[in-house]
Amino acid sequence: MTSETPDLSGQDPNTPVVVGVGQSSERLDDPGYRRMSAVELAAAAAREALADTGADTATVASAIDMVAGVRQFEISTPGAPAPLGKSDNYPRSVARRIGADPARAILEVVGGQSPQHLLNEMAATIARGEAQAALIFGSEAISTTQALAKAEDRPDFTEHVGGQLEDRGWGLEGLMSLHQASHGLTDAPSQYALFENARRARLGQSREEYAAGMGALFAPFTEVAAKNPHASAPVRRSAEELVTVTEKNRMIADPYPRYVVARDKVNQGAAVLVMSVSTARRLGVPEERWVFLHGHADLRERDLMERADLSRSPAAVMAAEHALEVAGIGVGELATIDLYSCFPIAVSNVADGLGLKADDPRGLTLTGGLPFFGGAGNNYSMHAIAETVQRARTAPGTFGLVGANGGSLSKYSVGVYSTTPTAWRPDRSAALQAEIDSWDAPEEARRADGWATIETYTIKYGRDGSRTGVVIGRLEADDRRFIALTHQGDEDMLDLLSAGEPIGRRGYVRSFGFGNRVTTDEQRMDALLPRREPVLRDDYEFVTVRRDGHLLEVTINRPEARNSLTPQANDELDEVFDAYFADPDLWVAILTGAGDKSFSAGNDLKYSASGKPMWVPKNGFAGLTSRRNMTKPVIAAVNGYAMGGGCEIALACHLTVADETAKFALSEVKVGLAAGAGGLVRLPRAIPRKIATEMILTGRQVTADEALGLGLVNRVVPAGTALEGARALAAEILEGSPTSVRASLQVMAETEGIADTVDAVDHPSSALDNLMVSQDAIEGMTAFAQKRRPQWKNR
């Protein structure tokens, strides 16, 4: 036995060892271009991994009892298109092609951490004796899909495969939110650009200095990619060329031109085979093919808006440091390094933490990196693992590190590899994760108003030359963090973000139903988005209004759509109720729906599914469900169905009159949603909790008579007379003092959250004080004494 031949005689039989790696690829202009599907690319890589073991491939395939697939782009987000079709069981589609019939098949969650995370997990499973061999793979055929999507002879990649599948879902929780999406953060370049600009400001560098640094970091990557036969863009580029903006190298999101952004147009696949030492011996895998996982870690960063410092991701650094700690080595003992490189900061963040320089002689990539080798979807790091394993075999006893990043610097998985034998070593990722989760987080202001300081920013550039600024900042009043967009055409704010150092500068932010908007000052905000005067218009597109003395009748006028609400309809209702609450001559309002079939079906699901912009006014559905200080009564006249958001609107009204055909339901669970516009809160407070829970969890409809018995409505009237019934109730209210009505509603609202009855009774309220000195109080008592009807002054 030579010094380069490891002694494996005393190895634990369950010790996991990587025994085979494989890669596959094709380009559209390759002479032998085969139009391979994602499944076929993964299968080709899997065959390479089987052959790489040096053992009989059929025998090795038959020993595989676990397969795990990394998601492609087209199965990574809700509603993602698959123009050429896809497999409904990707892992088993691949397994079937290589002659494997595993007992367990896994489809992993979204994220570039997936390859290394799966290898860490599969290795631990094998170490526990729960499996003998696992094949992990992933692939993308995005170039082929985009090129052939509209071709007459396009292939059909649809596959229906039976068998068990552990589909772990998208795993997008915390990686995206409707609030962030409504503020432009739907794409990776914009999110990473926020971190990049924060880092530049922390380092005190000018835009030119920082751009030069990004170029210097990635120029060596292009040299590696140029030599890699699987690279999608094997072109050497200088540091200057990478960051010089040209027609071909257009700006994507400040500070990123296209050349430093991960490349998604690829046809690539990669696979890794890991098995126990005993299985490797039984199958005849030569020991010189064995590579051990010496260190490993998996950590998750706090969600974007919860991070104390947007210029860093300390969780990623902790993962790398812990993997090295488990391996028992330092950074200086690494022979090879591959850091996930979707954008420069994904590399520099970890490099900064580990003390690595851009010109480290070992290099920071083995593949060429995501912008140059190719970085589609979630599978890049499978290629990095394959390269690391091959390098480890050519230099026995050396160590290689792979850092795999997912989300927006969100998830980080690390592996340390070497041919040197080692026992399986458990990591302490769970304890470290608990520490990360305990870190203090800034408080977020979903609705931000007032002067603020810019914390970080980016400008998104459209192909049409359009620009949109995205700002994360802190409110001066309370230091809460917010996200905001620039308003269309606000060149003043875009100029501020485009030159010099915007971070630390003041701006002015205001919240709207469609999100937060930021500009240079309050006067500019008023000019861009004038405040709406709270007055009734003569006509509306989606509602009708009728004024009868002190009574306002509002009708949702979309009977063809069951009076469901689009964002525009909600805006009109919000405007109407703003005017109602501001007009001293309007004392009571009635809300109803046109026709006799439906009060409102709530959110217009057809509109929602259309992909058009979605928003809800700050005051909620119909301008009511989130409105504070509803100081004057609103009566719901329910004619027919009050479903989903329609039921939530009725719940938000002070009083409800229903005709005998009315039915109420929080039906959101039937369409995969939840009653988030107040139904989950108001219904359990309005009726017995168990009944409310049943309605919420089943979507069960409640009839008008049942609703009356539960106290959900005030009155039930004959079919077709809901509006007349509401008018009668309004007339009774109008007989009383409007000042008293307002004061009563105010005290009820103020004491709603006070549990102790006496404390609620003794609650001091300015409403009662003001009422006692009002003209209505004097008029009411005087009229009573004089035995006449009072003439209310409403003051």
Extract the tokens encoding 773. 């000195």
Active site residue 648: yes
Break the chain down into helix, strand, coil percent, rounded to 5: 35, 20, 40
DSSP structure class, residue 291: B
Residue 558 is classified by DSSP as -
Q: Count other Cβ atoms within 10 Å, centred on residue 568.
A: 14
Q: Is 240 a catalytic residue?
A: no
In the chain, the largest separation of any two C-alpha atoms, in whole Å, equals: 118
Q: Tell me: cis bond preceding 16? Omega within 30 of 0 counts.
A: no
Give CB contacts under 8 A, 24+ apart, made by 469-473. Answer: 469/493, 469/494, 469/497, 469/518, 470/183, 470/184, 470/185, 470/190, 470/194, 471/497, 471/507, 471/509, 471/518, 472/194, 472/305, 472/310, 473/448, 473/507, 473/509, 473/518
Among 498, 506, 534, smallest CA distance to 522 is for 506
Two tokens, residue 374: 């190719």
Residue of 648, 660, 706, 750 marked active site: 648
Instruction: Find the helix packing angle between 344-354 and 207-226, rounded to 10°.
Output: 100
- Which one from 196, 668, 750, 752 is the annotated catalytic residue? 668
363 CB-contact burial (10 Å; exposed 0-12 / middle 13-18 / buried 19+): middle
Helix axes 645-652, 679-686, angle to 10 degrees: 60
The sheet with strand 598-600 has its strands ordered as: 598-600, 641-643, 663-665, 702-703
Strands 663-665 and 450-461, by their bridges, are: unpaired
Name residue 768's amino acid. L
Edge-to-edge strand order for the sheet containing 16-25? 16-25, 267-276, 133-141, 66-69, 104-107, 166-167
Q: What are phi and psi of 574, to 5 degrees?
A: -60, -40
CA distance 541 to 556: 10
| Structure tokens, 783 | 């009229």
Three-state secondary structure string covering 196-224: HHHHHHHHCCCHHHHHHHHHHHHHHHHHH
Which residues are known catalytic residues? Answer: 648, 668
